[in-house]
Structure 1
Amino acid sequence: MINKNEIHFRKANTSDISVIWEIIQQSIERRRIDGSTQWQNGYPNLQTVESDVSKGFGHVLTVDNKIAVYVALIFNDEPAYSSIEGAWLTTGEFVVVHRVAVSENFAGQGLAKKLFDYIEEYTKSQNVLSIKVDTNFDNLAMLKILESKGYSYCGEVVLAGGARKAFEKVLM
């Protein structure tokens, strides 16, 4: 079991990019093995990670100073979210969660769930009270996490040419 004191959430830096890319490649393969179409078309790629980090979007969850989970957090900017078949819970500022990827070395330890706790703390610290996220219809692990963390299903958005389930959580 992982001790909470060993876990830290921080912005990714350029020296993290190679490890992050390795973790994303592991996640791409995991999605393929699970029979998912998500992340099977060349996205995300190394340039995506480099862009995330250079723009300050990339964040990592570390365990004993080793990168265990990667996520991109983007404030108020996801063009695909302006058109939803359904309705968002809020219309104000929000944080978008993209590209959650867990290292094979840390898979199955509940760290993706723990990541969402850190995302909520970070979002509140930025005085933003809404988190929006989308995922593939066949990403059962992420759907289960979102349900367990109290995210509300809001409808469908089209992203990267495909329909995605869209969720929002309002932080009070």
Structure 2
Amino acid sequence: MYLRKTTPNDLPRVMEIIDQAAAYLAEQRLPQWQGEQKPSEKQINKDIKRQESYVLIDEGVIVGTASLVAGIDPVYTAIDGKWEGEGEYLSIHRVALDQKIRGKKIGKQLLEHLLTVAAYQGVTDVRIDTFPTNQPMERTIYSAGFSYCGMIEFPFTHGERKAYQKRL
């Protein structure tokens, strides 16, 4: 299993995985990634062009996707809590796995691969968030060694998120 940057040719498969993830969240009665909140093809294309989108490959097949975003995230600046340290960080967003592999701890591997990319880039601070009741994602975040830092709020309905950080 390995991680590589997403190419434009990967877009149909990435969007298929995102659609599966959004459907799974809806089945769990979670408002995360519903309606306009779901990552769009336009957003993924933007991530690809900025070299921030990654795919996880297993036996030649894309089984996961995520973005590792550089720069200050305005939503992350208004945390009800406290980040450990200040300075440059990367944010992990738009994490999704093929539903056929759910429950096999592949999410942890995806996050660990992204942490390796961050370390390779010399970044020692990585942040991530999830909807407060998205327990499967929260377990995955904790299993990859992140610590809870507080609550943030995206500017849309059901925008509240638990925020986590890992110092490398």
Q: Give the TM-score range, shorter chain.
A: over 0.9
Give 1:160 shift: 4.1
Give the residue type in structure 1 aligned to 2:9.
S
Q: 2:130 aligns with which of 123, 131, 135?
A: 135
Structure 1 CA distance for aligned equivalents of residues 123 and 30 of structure 2: 32
Structure 1 CA distance for aligned equivalents of residues 97 and 52 of structure 2: 17
Matches within 5 A, 1:20-169: 20-43=14-37, 44-161=39-156, 162-169=159-166
Query: TM-score of the superposition, structure 1-length normalised?
Result: 0.92
Give the residue type in structure 2 aligned to 1:149.
A
**Does residue 170 of structure 1 match 2:167?**
yes
Structure 2 CA distance for aligned equivalents of residues 17 and 8 of structure 1: 18
Q: CA RMSD in A?
A: 1.1
Structure 2 CA distance for aligned equivalents of residues 25 and 90 of structure 1: 36
Q: Which runs of 5+ in 1 are unaligned?
A: 1-6
Q: Deviations over 1:64-102 (max 9, x none)?
A: 121000001001231111111111012111110001000
Query: TM-score of the superposition, structure 2-length normalised?
Result: 0.94
Residue correspondences, number: 165
Give 1:106 shift: 2.4
Q: What is the percentage of aligned positions where both structures have the same residue?
A: 29
Q: Which runs of 4+ in 1 moved over 3 A?
A: none
Q: Which runs of 5+ in 2 are unaligned?
A: none
Structure 1 CA distance for aligned equivalents of residues 144 and 99 of structure 2: 22
